[in-house]
Amino acid sequence: MVNAIPAAVELIKKARHAVAFSGAGISTASGIPDFRSPESGLWERYSPGEVASYQAFKQTPSHFYDWIRPLFLRAQEAEPNPAHRSLAALQDMGYLQEIITQNIDGLQQKAGAKDVIELHGSASTATCPNCRTQYSTDEIMALYIQKQSIPHCSLCRSVIKPDVVLFDELLPENAWHEANTAVEKADLVIVVGSSLSVYPANMLPAAAHRNGAKIIINSLAPTENDGIADVLLREGCEFVLPQIVAILES
Ligand code: ZN
């Protein structure tokens, strides 16, 4: 483990097409909880099945909005941390192509990254499920936070749904297609802050590995795919990634 960072740097230097795959762990240093995790503190009042599903959103939108409000407030206030900025820096230096993320917080883009593929949607927009009119989340959440009023579509009066993928929803088709295309081209996948436990997103690094890509996993906790990693980095990504960038810059 002593030489893990230099080994990761060597793989990054050799790669022709590197793709990053990030999960909740990259944003915890920015104060964003993993909304799918029981440890997030978001499940104290409601269980996931009660609120974080499309069915629950349709049945009791007030519970859904009660639940999602703290998450949105935190996402709005959060700032990118050194891990987000390091991935953006690797892109700028030409060492990294696409960034596939399971996060909905937009922090990777806020750090200046390009080609971010959001597998679980985005907290920044919301869409009317009926007529597909799109709204900015700031607009609809401001109304909700000030007046506790559930946001309705101005065209068809349906309840508007934030563009985040809920437990019983499929991944957005475009994002899933783009992520698979990126992974097919990749000869290196850098997994950052994901436990690789959420299906089907977690299949992507394994698919890259089967295609012969090298795999770097940077996660504090063991992941379900540690067995396929060429390099394992067991420290917080907000500490590890800046060190990698510093070596590549020197
Ligand atoms: Zn509508």
Q: Are residue 130 and residue 47 in the same domain, yes or no?
A: yes
pLDDT in tens, 72-99: 888 888 999 999 999 999 999 999 999 9
Could you report the per-residue pLDDT of 180-199, keeping only the tens digit for each? 999 999 999 999 999 898 88
- So what's the pLDDT on residue 11? 98
Domain extent at residue 87: 1-31+81-120+171-250
Q: Clarify whether residues 7 and 105 are in a common domain.
A: yes
Catalytic residue (one of 17, 63, 84, 120): 120
Q: Tell how strand 18-22 and strand 99-101 pair up.
A: parallel
On whether both 227 and 150 belong to a single domain, the answer is no
pLDDT score at 1: 47
* Residue 133 CA, ligand 1 centroid: distance in Å: 6
Ligand 1 center–CA 139 separation, angstroms: 15
Domain shared by 224 and 100, yes or no = yes
Query: Per mean pLDDT, which range of 26-30, 84-88, 104-108, 198-202 is the poorest?
Result: 198-202
In this structure, are 65 and 86 located in the same domain? no
Shared domain check, 224 and 199: yes
Query: Distance, CA 22 to ligand 1 centroid (Å)?
Result: 33
For the segment 116-154, what is each residue's pLDDT rounded down to a tens digit? 999 999 989 999 999 999 999 888 888 887 788 899 999
pTM over 0.85: yes
pLDDT band at 224 (very low <50, low <70, confident <90, very high): confident
Do 114 and 214 lie in a common domain? yes
- Number of folded domains that form the chain: 2
Residue 33 has pLDDT above 90, yes or no: no
For residue 67, the CA-to-ligand 1 centroid distance in Å is 22
Q: Is 63 a catalytic residue?
A: no
